[in-house]
Amino acid sequence: MPNVREAKGEDLDAVLAIERESFPNPWPAEEFQKHQEGGIFLVYELRGKVLGYLIASEKTSPFRGSFFHLENIAVARNARRQGIATALLADLISIAKEKGILTLLLEVREENLAALTLYKKFGFIEKMSLLGFYSDGDNARLMELQLATEPTGSS
């Protein structure tokens, strides 16, 4: 995936512009800086322009063991439906497999048809509704993707 790379400090302005046109309650710059220091922060760049980003972090729970939590993903409005989110998610899945992490979790607004369709295409399944999850009172769906273990070689 040649267009997906780790975010750098100089990507922040472009990322913030996409964040602000994508969400009613955008993350502040500090939130992105925090994830750049510890976590997974990928950008999609085409011809020197950042057109999308993804943020995830590794977490652990007694029930699931280690998993990736997808915390943010957005694509510039004028670059949507061109496979950019797909490329970012595919990269995250590759990183997860490299690290032996087989579970991905995320929350998505119930009304967000674009994101719900994208995640279902990847095989995410809805685990439960989270009533009033967002600060504006909107409900979320908790979604989970279980990755298959890679064969360890022929015998």
Ligand X SMILES: CC(C)(COP(=O)(O)OP(=O)(O)OC[C@H]1O[C@@H](n2cnc3c(N)ncnc32)[C@H](O)[C@@H]1OP(=O)(O)O)[C@@H](O)C(=O)NCCC(=O)NCCS
Using rule CB under 6 A, residue 73 touches ligand X: yes
End-to-end CA, the chain:
30
Residue 9 is given by DSSP the state G
Site string for ligand X, 26-65 (x = CB under 6 A): ----------------------------------------
Q: Can you tell me which of 74, 96, 101, 102 binds ligand X, judged by CB under 6 A?
A: 74
Backbone phi, then psi, for 146, in 5-degree steps? Answer: -100, 120
Question: Tokens representing 75?
Answer: 């694509």
Question: Tokens representing 76?
Answer: 């510039």
Site string for ligand X, 88-117 (x = CB under 6 A): --------------------x---xxxx-x
Q: Taking CB positions, which residue lies at the least distance from ligand X?
A: 85
* Footprint (CB under 6 A) of ligand X, residues 112-151: 112-115, 117-118, 121
Only one residue has tokens 């510039």, namely 76
Using rule CB under 6 A, residue 22 touches ligand X: yes
- Shortest distance, position 112 Cβ to ligand X, whole Å: 5
C-alpha to C-alpha distances, 124 to 1, 44, 62, 73, 81, nearest whole angstrom: 21, 22, 21, 15, 19
Question: Tokens representing 98?
Answer: 């490299």
User: Can you give the binding site for ligand X, defined by CB under 6 A?
Assistant: 22, 73-75, 80-86, 108, 112-115, 117-118, 121
